[in-house]
Structure 1
Amino acid sequence: MDASRTRALRTVVPAAVLVCWALLAAGCSPTAAPHADDPATSGRAAAPMAAGDLQSQYQRVIKEVLPSVVQIQARQELGSGVVYDDNGHIVTNAHVVGTEKTFRVTAANSREPLTASLVYSYPQQDLAVIKLDRIPSGLKAATFGNSEKVEVGQILLAMGSPLGLSSSVTQGIVSAVGRTVSESRSAGGTGATIANMVQTSAAINPGNSGGALVNLDGQVIGIPTLAAADPQLGGSAAPGIGFAIPASMVKTIADQIVKKGRVVESGRAALNIVGRTVVNDDYQPAGVAVVSVQAGGAAARAGLRPGDIITKLGDEPITTITSLSVALAADKPGQKTPVTYQRGGVEKTVQVKLGEQ
């Protein structure tokens, strides 16, 4: 990723628009020697030990995981990747690989860049897998954890190549889980709407994309992908608000790519339509017009047809194509949900068994 660019996004969290540390202190009096059994004294004495333990844990995790994080150089983009297996597969973001097919990869244990080729890119989830043409000795696959067990407040380390500074580490916590966010195409994203993302306060800068978000057990729990942008600051990155694709989704997509060369089951719900945002008489977004329906798809089976204007999915108002994507991101293929639409000025509702994207 070019150092002058940032990834912007929109989030469905109110009042935000899109594109850490622990402190332990101790002290003692220079004029008194409190009794060793004094609880206050023992608490203060334990603090430096706790700080030392935490530092040692950071260093252990960094030493263990950082060799599994690589720098990826495409023609126009610079980003990061995570070694997925011992066969040279590396998982990264689709927006890092872009439209390129070949890449230069710098591993932590290799001074000379390696070459790699694209296996498959899946922009719908902003994930891609590339494969090294030659596997260097000492290449180590990362361990992916269970992102379903991630909790707010957990300490995390983000590893990658921000601004081209390879093998960099930043620190933060899990700020929130279950975020649904939409990437901005204008800021270089894929335009994907991604559900269940992990929000973190660890710094996510250009070049971190595709790297590793790691817990203190040395497990990758997410792939850093997006940094929030504040429109009131001219679209500048909002400090301390970054997002990562959860490890569970990374494994689901990467496993399919590695085994089958493509994604055959996305796990993403869809109406199987092509739609566009329409506006009302006040030029305000007012729904999604159905441009075409996929034969045999979810909308077609429910009787939706071109010209219908979708205004609600379940209980969620639909005003734009993005709001429709966000609403669908919370659902699953095969799930039945009511779709409210207008046809010829008449409002109707139909039950739709959602398809797959």
Structure 2
Amino acid sequence: MTALALAGCSSGSSSSSSTSASTTTGASGSAQPAGGNQLQIDYQRVIADVLPSVVQITTASGLGSGIVYDNKGDIVTNAHVVGTATTFTVTLANSTKPLDATLVASYPDSDLAVIRLSSPPGGLKPAAFADSAKVELGQITLAMGSPLGLSSSVTQGIVSATGRTVSEPNSEGSPGATIGNMVQTSAAINPGNSGGALVNLNSQVIGINTLAATEPEANGAAAPGIGFAIPASTVTSIANQLIKDGKVTNSGRAALGITARTYFDQDFRPAGAVVVAVASGGAADAAGIQAGDVITKVGDTPVDSLNSLTTALASLTPGSRTTVTFTRDGQSKTADVTLGTLATP
């Protein structure tokens, strides 16, 4: 079974190892014809277009990446990159001078945050964000960021899948976010890449690099070619709200309007999500679900824990209808529920 690892802050400072560029020639040792170099030309154009919009973020605990969002100095990144910090040091791709930044707001439920440069320099280049609905399997992608502290690094791959629902690992004792509609990519994503840009060949950001798969049987070693990015539509929706209001008022995430916890059966095995409280007027309340009910299925998706309930809901949208299966007093029941929107703090 494959696990997941946040690709957020890499500890320490930039690597001291040196790197050098290399060139590739054909089998005969001669340069490839112009037609064969078109993809390389496209890569170089996209890197020149987008890399100035990708920054390195330094916190007290390590390094991460971010994307210039507007010319006012707002930078969007992952919530797990900023953590509990409120002040940061930002280094632009085209500069070695560190810049001070402060937290605008963070929304851990979608693992997104916005920080703002205290004194934005002239010539900031905001990134262009793509329409997530137009992201397609097989699309070539470039991942840009500061993996392992190596600023302005670029890896390449393709869109391997779309619409993934992914639960992040626990962080500092707190459950990780469960995020729907993520973009899976084969572009390498490593520690320090989080918050950086996943880009198409139109020089548009299609997602924010967030986490990579690991192989538990290999002592947590990276599973090559399996990384995930939060889609651009989620990024822009959440970032716009954080910048405008300092909080998220419309999460775009489906919810039942309940407080729940994992239910364990008589053999102490997880066997559902027990409803602890029901929000008055919420989706569950309107459908007749009560405190004490144990949810065992959402639609056709089995539920054996609070985490699996969260994952099932993350793949759905507010306003959609689904059937919730639950037990009450030992009897199995179903309710047709029109899902609400996840409440925000």
TM-score (norm 2): 0.89
Q: After superposition, what is the alpha-carbon deviation per residue over 1:261-315, rounded to whole angstroms, capped at 9, x for unaligned?
A: 2111011000121211122334332111111222322222222222110011112
1:111 is displaced (CA, Å) by: 1.7
- Aligned to 1:185, the other structure's residue is in SS state coil
Q: Give the letter for the 2:3 counterpart.
A: V
Written as runs of structure 1 = structure 2, the 5 A alignment for 1:43-62 is 48-62=33-47
- Kept in 2, the 8 Å contact 1:183–1:193? The answer is yes
- Kept in 2, the 8 Å contact 1:183–1:189? The answer is no
Name the residue aligned to 1:106.
Answer: 91
2:217 is aligned with 1:238: no
The separation in 2 between residues aligned to 1:265 and 1:100, in whole angstroms, is 24
Q: Give the letter for the 1:111 counterpart.
A: T
The separation in 2 between residues aligned to 1:167 and 1:236, in whole angstroms, is 24
1:177 is displaced (CA, Å) by: 1.1
- Aligned to 2:4, the other structure's residue is in SS state coil
The separation in 2 between residues aligned to 1:279 and 1:189, in whole angstroms, is 20
The separation in 2 between residues aligned to 1:117 and 1:258, in whole angstroms, is 13
2:126 is aligned with 1:146: no
Name the residue aligned to 1:18.
Answer: 4
The separation in 2 between residues aligned to 1:189 and 1:214, in whole angstroms, is 30
1:112 is displaced (CA, Å) by: 1.3
Q: After superposition, what is the alpha-carbon deviation per residue over 1:130-175, rounded to whole angstroms, capped at 9, x for unaligned?
A: 1111111221101111121111111111110011111111111111
The separation in 2 between residues aligned to 1:186 and 1:119, in whole angstroms, is 21
The separation in 1 between residues aligned to 2:167 and 2:71, in whole angstroms, is 33
The separation in 2 between residues aligned to 1:190 and 1:172, in whole angstroms, is 30
Name the residue aligned to 1:291.
Answer: 276
- Kept in 2, the 8 Å contact 1:77–1:97? The answer is no
Pick the structure with greater CA Rg: 1
The separation in 2 between residues aligned to 1:176 and 1:246, in whole angstroms, is 12
Q: Give the letter for the 1:159 counterpart.
A: M
Written as runs of structure 1 = structure 2, the 5 A alignment for 1:325-340 is 325-340=310-325
Q: 5+ residue gaps in structure 1?
A: 1-14, 29-44
* Distance 1:27-1:75 versus aligned 2 partners, 3 A rule: closer
Alignment coverage as a number of residue pairs: 323
* Distance 1:257-1:200 versus aligned 2 partners, 3 A rule: same
Q: After superposition, what is the alpha-carbon deviation per residue over 1:231-284, rounded to whole angstroms, capped at 9, x for unaligned?
A: 111222211110000111111111111222211101100012121112233433
Q: Give the letter for the 2:115 counterpart.
A: I
Q: Give the letter for the 1:123 counterpart.
A: P
* Distance 1:338-1:303 versus aligned 2 partners, 3 A rule: same
2:107 is aligned with 1:122: yes
The separation in 2 between residues aligned to 1:188 and 1:155, in whole angstroms, is 36
22, 26, 48: which one aligns with 1:63: 48
Name the residue aligned to 2:293.
Answer: 308
Name the residue aligned to 2:18.
Answer: none
The separation in 1 between residues aligned to 2:164 and 2:339, in whole angstroms, is 21
* Distance 1:210-1:319 versus aligned 2 partners, 3 A rule: same
1:109 is displaced (CA, Å) by: 2.3
Q: Give the letter for the 1:338 counterpart.
A: T
Written as runs of structure 1 = structure 2, the 5 A alignment for 1:1-357 is 16-19=2-5, 48-186=33-171, 191-357=176-342
- Across the aligned residues of Structure 1 and Structure 2, the Cα RMSD in angstroms comes to 2.0
* Distance 1:135-1:231 versus aligned 2 partners, 3 A rule: same
Question: Which stretch of the first structure deviates more once superposed, 109-118 or 210-219?
Answer: 109-118
Name the residue aligned to 1:41.
Answer: none
* Distance 1:336-1:108 versus aligned 2 partners, 3 A rule: same
Q: Give the letter for the 1:17 counterpart.
A: A
Q: Give the letter for the 2:88 counterpart.
A: F
The separation in 2 between residues aligned to 1:260 and 1:268, in whole angstroms, is 18
The separation in 1 between residues aligned to 2:218 and 2:103, in whole angstroms, is 37
Overall identity of the aligned pairs, in %: 62
Q: After superposition, what is the alpha-carbon deviation per residue over 1:77-114, rounded to whole angstroms, capped at 9, x for unaligned?
A: 31000000111110000000111111111111222110
Q: Give the letter for the 1:236 counterpart.
A: A
The separation in 1 between residues aligned to 2:257 and 2:131, in whole angstroms, is 31
Q: After superposition, what is the alpha-carbon deviation per residue over 1:194-247, rounded to whole angstroms, capped at 9, x for unaligned?
A: 111111111100000000011111111110001011111122221111000011
Q: Give the letter for the 1:335 counterpart.
A: S
- Aligned to 1:66, the other structure's residue is in SS state helix
Question: Which stretch of the first structure deviates more once superposed, 157-166 or 104-113?
Answer: 104-113
TM-score (norm 1): 0.86
- Kept in 1, the 8 Å contact 2:139–2:159? The answer is yes
Q: 5+ residue gaps in structure 2?
A: 6-23
Name the residue aligned to 2:20.
Answer: none
The separation in 1 between residues aligned to 2:67 and 2:174, in whole angstroms, is 19
